[in-house]
Structure 1
Amino acid sequence: MSTPRFLELPPVVRRTTLRTTRGEFAVLEALPVGEPERQPALLVPGYTGSKEDFLGILQTLTRVGRRVVAMDMRGQYETPGTPDDPDAYRIAALGADILAVAERLGPEPVHLVGHSFGGLVTREAVLAEPTAVASFTLMSSGPGAITGRSAERATMLRDALGVLSMNDVWEIKLGPDAVAAGQPGPVISFLRGRSLRTCPRGLIEMAGELTTAPDKVEDLCKVCDDADLPIMVLFGEDDDAWDPRVQAAMADKLDAVRVVIPGAAHSPAWEAPETTAHALTDFWNSAERR
């Protein structure tokens, strides 16, 4: 199957694999023209997502001389899963994976970004090893477990995968939902391929983590204060996962930089890529000046 045009990589971006102490991880690596002059950045997607969720911002993020890597977490799309080890998908274990990837991007600390469920995972990495991180951005993520309709969707997917194949779930639910949302054909083709290559065990276990994760804002406050770690909370003004008011309150508790992306919902990297990329670059540059 040919690559959908919307997934064609910019000249500065390549698909590759990073080999770490915790296994191999599929990534999109964006390299600046010339030698990187700034600290690298690592972008982590959310539940049911993949590295391609950041494709719209990668080229812009390299323009100041920065290496930027977006990854598939364990079991997501092109990263192998561990279907016989449900504990590998616990948030703490996934956080350890993030640290292993960050170590490969070093030796300097990385600017770490976690989108949605990826925010809960990257938070574990920060809590475990704050010195590995130059700055931390929670993108469209919350203080703890997701609730409301998003939690219901995650639970329904988890339950369906307990009795159906991924192909059946796509045909019965995910595919029709994509069509109803008005997604164009190439996007639907990619989403189908991504779904069928994602580890079902990973989706089942991650759904449990997503819907039960405790609020660790106080823990994050202490670690970031002790490590003098810059933190940003970035979200779309119309986010339909974690309520924007909840994310704003979290930012206040963390004494974090707060950025609200106009015209965006839960995926600002796709819905407002230039605005999102510039907000990240400004924050990262400010963190490095510190």
Structure 2
Amino acid sequence: MDGSHEEEIVNGVRLHYVEAGEGPLVVLLHGFPDHWYGWRKQISALVEAGYRVVAPDMRGYNRSEKPPGVSAYRIDTLVEDVRALIDRCGTKRAHLVGHDWGGVVAWEVAARHPECIDRLVVMNAPHPGAYRRELRDLDSDQRRRSLYVLLFQLPLIPELLFRVGDQHLLEWLLREASTNPEAFDRKSLRRYKRACAGPGAMTAMLNYYRAAFRGTVRAAVPGWGDPGATTSDGLVSRPTLVLWGTDDAALSSTLTEGLDEWVSDVAVERIDGAGHWIQLDAPERVNDSLVEFFSRD
């Protein structure tokens, strides 16, 4: 993959990102516990299709700055990071693609700043309205799947668990969530372990969950935002494509149902046989869908 590694102060925080290609801007937002490298299968394909790609390490991840404190990772701040990054790239609009936590942020960027977004693609990341709907249903399978979020609320214990042995929990999470045996080979795992082992890295990454779900009620029944955050109505007006790996153990495919309640122009493409790491489990399918969607009239 050809591309340059850059660093910029964005929204008061130093962000590292990989940039490649020329043409309309595509911004790729990764999730947990990932960084720009999770888009390695997409960057070259998008460049070859005539796009300029920017894939940042979101604040707290890999080579980007890791500000202390839970409040530094509120959704308001994460949204402003993305809006400011698009502005720093010298363009008024971008195609925005998000996976997992990057998708959560992407949903809110599109809702709050539609003027910055050309087209939106979200991969295995629930719209906040759909997530609340599923968690309010006592019979919803998603309630059980979301229990791990409660563990992440605890101080220090999750960090210690991720540190045990040769970061065995991290390796297990990556491999178990993928249906592609080649997605996380030894070389890739070494990169992920280095990215998560730096000073303050794991705490910063977990603070995304803590900022979003802190508070007794919100920890028990996670909603959108935190007590100190400003939430939007979640309504998205930009053309949206949802790509969903149906073998995701943490996120039920029921989260893709009824999205037209919040998204005025939405298409859902479910990919059987792909897990949570859809962009690595089915890279060719994902790449074709991205290029086709971005070029659609």
Partner in structure 2 of residue 189 of structure 1: 190
Kept in 1: contact 2:241–2:269 (CA 8 A): yes
**Are residues 232 and 161 of structure 1, via their aligned partners in 2, closer, same or farther at CA, if it must alter by over 3 Å?**
same
**Are residues 150 and 159 of structure 1, via their aligned partners in 2, closer, same or farther at CA, if it must alter by over 3 Å?**
farther
CA-to-aligned-CA distance 1:69-94 (integer Å, 9 cap, x gap) = 111111011111101x3211011211
Partner in structure 2 of residue 207 of structure 1: 209
Kept in 1: contact 2:11–2:80 (CA 8 A): no
**Are residues 150 and 171 of structure 1, via their aligned partners in 2, closer, same or farther at CA, if it must alter by over 3 Å?**
farther
Kept in 2: contact 1:95–1:123 (CA 8 A): no
* Alpha-carbon distance between aligned partners in 1 of 2:35 and 2:110, rounded to the nearest angstrom: 21
Map residues 1-290 of structure 1 onto 2, 5 A cutoff: 10=1, 12-31=2-21, 36-37=22-23, 39-83=24-68, 85-144=69-128, 145=131, 147-148=142-143, 150-159=145-154, 161-162=156-157, 165=160, 168-169=163-164, 171=166, 173-175=168-170, 177=172, 181=176, 184-197=185-198, 199-208=201-210, 209=212, 212-214=222-224, 219-221=233-235, 223-224=236-237, 229-250=238-259, 254=263, 255-286=265-296, 289=297
Kept in 2: contact 1:140–1:235 (CA 8 A): yes
CA-to-aligned-CA distance 1:80-121 (integer Å, 9 cap, x gap) = 1101x3211011211111111111123230001111121121
CA-to-aligned-CA distance 1:227-279 (integer Å, 9 cap, x gap) = xx211111113222321122133257524021222431111111111110110
In proportion to residue count, which structure has more helix?
1
Aligned residue type for 1:220? G
* Alpha-carbon distance between aligned partners in 2 of 1:48 and 1:248, rounded to the nearest angstrom: 26
Partner in structure 2 of residue 4 of structure 1: none
Sequence identity (%): 22
- Compute the TM-score of the two structures, normalised by the length of structure 1: 0.80
1:220 partner SS: coil
**Are residues 47 and 171 of structure 1, via their aligned partners in 2, closer, same or farther at CA, if it must alter by over 3 Å?**
same
CA-to-aligned-CA distance 1:112-170 (integer Å, 9 cap, x gap) = 11111211212222222210111111111112358456533343344363575587346
Kept in 2: contact 1:24–1:80 (CA 8 A): yes
**Are residues 180 and 20 of structure 1, via their aligned partners in 2, closer, same or farther at CA, if it must alter by over 3 Å?**
closer
* Alpha-carbon distance between aligned partners in 2 of 1:234 and 1:78, rounded to the nearest angstrom: 28
Aligned residue type for 1:268? I
**Are residues 218 and 282 of structure 1, via their aligned partners in 2, closer, same or farther at CA, if it must alter by over 3 Å?**
farther
* Alpha-carbon distance between aligned partners in 2 of 1:261 and 1:239, rounded to the nearest angstrom: 10
**Are residues 272 and 180 of structure 1, via their aligned partners in 2, closer, same or farther at CA, if it must alter by over 3 Å?**
closer
**Are residues 166 and 96 of structure 1, via their aligned partners in 2, closer, same or farther at CA, if it must alter by over 3 Å?**
farther
* Alpha-carbon distance between aligned partners in 2 of 1:271 and 1:189, rounded to the nearest angstrom: 19
Kept in 2: contact 1:166–1:195 (CA 8 A): no
1:122 partner SS: helix
* Alpha-carbon distance between aligned partners in 2 of 1:77 and 1:265, rounded to the nearest angstrom: 23
Q: RMSD value over aligned CA atoms?
A: 3.0
* Alpha-carbon distance between aligned partners in 1 of 2:188 and 2:50, rounded to the nearest angstrom: 31
* Alpha-carbon distance between aligned partners in 2 of 1:176 and 1:42, rounded to the nearest angstrom: 27
* Alpha-carbon distance between aligned partners in 2 of 1:284 and 1:112, rounded to the nearest angstrom: 10
Aligned residue type for 1:185? R
* Alpha-carbon distance between aligned partners in 1 of 2:173 and 2:49, rounded to the nearest angstrom: 36
* Alpha-carbon distance between aligned partners in 2 of 1:153 and 1:242, rounded to the nearest angstrom: 12
Gaps of 5+ in 1: 1-9
Aligned residue type for 1:115? H
**Are residues 122 and 164 of structure 1, via their aligned partners in 2, closer, same or farther at CA, if it must alter by over 3 Å?**
closer
CA-to-aligned-CA distance 1:8-61 (integer Å, 9 cap, x gap) = xx1x32322233243221112121xxxx33x20101111222111111111011
* Alpha-carbon distance between aligned partners in 1 of 2:27 and 2:35, rounded to the nearest angstrom: 13
Kept in 2: contact 1:161–1:169 (CA 8 A): no
Kept in 1: contact 2:111–2:232 (CA 8 A): no
More off after superposition, 180-189 vs 125-134 = 180-189
**Are residues 24 and 150 of structure 1, via their aligned partners in 2, closer, same or farther at CA, if it must alter by over 3 Å?**
farther
